[in-house]
Amino acid sequence: MKGTNTLQLPKEHVKLAIQKEGRLTESTLELLHTAGLHIEAYKQRLFSSCRNFPLTVLFVRDDDIPEYVSEGVVDLGIVGKNLVVETQQVVEELLPLNYGHCTLTVAIPRESSIENIQQLAGRKIATSYPITTKKFFEEQNIDVDIITISGSVEVTPALGVASAIVDLVSTGSSLKLNDLVPLKTVLQSQSLLIAHPASVQDETKAPLIDSLLMRFRGVMNARSFKYIMMNAPTKNVPAITELCTGLRSPTVLPTADPEWVAVHIAVPEDDFWNIIEQLRILGSQGILVTPIEKLFL
């Protein structure tokens, strides 16, 4: 870990490492901003202090984050689970952050005769994740020849370098571009908040870390729900209550017309459209939907 002993950071601050530039950067900065953390401009800087919280943010390569956290250079890191698994560093996984979703996937050429992973026995597999790939095939009792590639893994089958690849897949567009198809999922990945094990036990840093966790959970909970306000027939309140099991029972308020009530409820994002359809069937009118900025459960 080169150069880490030269970092001069405030000891009283919690130190958080995030990706300087890459697929998680924008979403991570948005999370910090939405959580009320005011981070100064980071371009061309190694680290920046938060203006309204005792937090210092380091901007580094994502590959280095698990090691920085494990070695105690920083207290926290936001990084993909794929790298936590691959680097095998000793860290504590505090919170899945529900963005940066992707899969580490075994993929083969579209025209390949291979139909299952057992047929890869004895063949060459190209990957940037040799440790995770080796463990996966060992668990499947399949002996393969793993070739570690640091560049574009997807081109190796076309070049005759490998019969299959193991690589991160998000939208699948890169696989299609290289005429590859998924064969088997190795690992489901998303962004994680990880911690140095000693930091979460530190009497000074633990309360700060708990405060950050509260903020992040509030943001994540808000993204998982929609707030609905509507007018509904009084007679259908029991059915609406049974339907809208989001947080707790809906808030039901009287209106000038005794046959109608105003109903407020938070519903899960995943069930939103189905619930809207059912509410309309139950006679609800004037349905107003608003996003939730923060939600603490």
Does the residue 83 lie in any domain? yes
229: helix, strand or coil: strand
Residue 204 pLDDT > 50 = yes
Residue 283 pLDDT > 60 = yes
Instruction: Look over the chain and give the mean of its residue pLDDT values, rounded to a whole number.
Output: 90
What is the domain range of residue 128?
102-189
Same domain, residue pair 21 and 161: no
Same domain, residue pair 211 and 72: yes
Same domain, residue pair 197 and 88: yes
Residue 119 pLDDT > 70 = yes
Residue 172 is predicted with a pLDDT of 83
Does the residue 236 lie in any domain? yes
Residue 79 pLDDT > 80 = yes
**What is the rounded distance in angstroms from the CA atom of residue 129 to the CA atom of residue 168?**
9
Question: What is the DSSP secondary-structure string of 235-246?
Answer: GGHHHHHHH--S
Does the residue 243 lie in any domain? yes
Long-range pairs for 217-222: beta carbons < 8 A, 24 or more residues apart: 217/95, 217/296, 217/297, 218/35, 218/294, 218/295, 218/296, 219/31, 219/34, 219/35, 219/294, 220/97, 220/98, 221/292, 221/294, 221/295, 221/296, 221/297, 222/291, 222/292, 222/293, 222/294, 222/295
Name, of 22-36, 119-133, 215-229, 243-257, the range with top average pLDDT: 119-133
Residue 104 pLDDT > 90 = yes
Residues 223-252 pLDDT 10s: 888 899 999 999 999 999 888 766 667 889
Residue 12 is predicted with a pLDDT of 67
Residue 171 is predicted with a pLDDT of 85
Residue 280 is predicted with a pLDDT of 94
Residue 6 pLDDT > 50 = no
Mean pLDDT of 100-106: 95
> Which of 172, 189, 206 is a domain's end point?
189
pTM for this model (two decimals): 0.84
Same domain, residue pair 123 and 250: no
- Residue closest to 117 by CA, chosen among 212, 208, 186, 62: 186
Helix 205-223 / helix 25-34 crossing angle, nearest 10 deg: 100
Residues 162-192 pLDDT 10s: 999 999 998 888 899 999 999 999 999 999 9
Residue 82 is predicted with a pLDDT of 96
Same domain, residue pair 59 and 198: yes
Instruction: Write the burial class of residue 213 (CB in 10 Å: 0-12 exposed, 13-18 middle, 19+ buried).
Output: middle
Does the residue 75 lie in any domain? yes
Total residue length of the chain: 297
Residue 4 is predicted with a pLDDT of 45
Does the residue 200 lie in any domain? yes
Residue 138 or residue 40, greater confidence: 138
Same domain, residue pair 133 and 13: no
Return the structure tokens found at 268.
């899960």
Same domain, residue pair 252 and 212: no
Does the residue 297 lie in any domain? no
Residue 59 to residues 30, 67, 89, 187, 207, Cα–Cα distance (Å) = 15, 14, 19, 26, 23
